[in-house]
């Protein structure tokens, strides 16, 4: 399942489309970090060969935040909106507690607590 799409990301966040296991962005509010991460991860999930040559199945992506009492407090809505904005509806199945890619990739949502 391959897709070619032109996506705009801020130059400072272009590293999101480069191969690496962990991706971290620092900064304050309104830096479009969440929006950029959502776009990059949705595209990578649909086309994992872009980052991992030879890989056909989509990755499992954990979306965690320190305080999350419900899915409404997660990035579920942001990802759902970006799926629509990027025209990726045919590749994704949006469920109540997860978002699944047709190639086996999945976005999972969780709250975490510091000890």
Per-residue pLDDT at 102? 92
pLDDT at residue 1 in the model: 52
Average pLDDT by stretches of 10, the chain with 115 residues: 66 84 80 86 86 80 76 82 93 92 91 73
Hey, what domains does the chain have and what are their CATH numbers?
11-111 (3.40.50.300)
Query: What per-residue confidence (pLDDT) applies to 52?
Result: 75
Which own/partner contact pairs does 77-83 have at CB distance under 8 Å and 24+ positions apart? 78/34, 78/35, 78/38, 79/38, 79/41, 79/42, 79/107, 82/35, 82/38, 82/39, 82/42, 83/42
Q: CA-based angle 11:106:22, to the nearest 5?
A: 40
Q: What is the pLDDT of residue 105?
A: 92
């Amino acid at each position: 399942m391959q897709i070619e799409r032109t996506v705009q990301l801020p130059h400072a966040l272009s590293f999101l489309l480069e191969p690496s296991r962990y991706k971290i962005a620092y900064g304050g509010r309104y830096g479009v970090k969440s929006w950029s991460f959502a776009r990059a991860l949705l595209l990578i999930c649909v086309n994992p060969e872009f980052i991992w040559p030879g890989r056909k199945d989509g990755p499992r992506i954990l979306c965690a935040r320190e305080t999350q009492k419900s899915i409404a407090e997660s990035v579920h809505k942001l990802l759902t909106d970006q799926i629509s904005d990027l025209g990726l509806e045919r590749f994704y199945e949006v469920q109540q507690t997860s978002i699944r890619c047709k190639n086996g990739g999945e976005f999972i949502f969780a709250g975490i607590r510091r000890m």
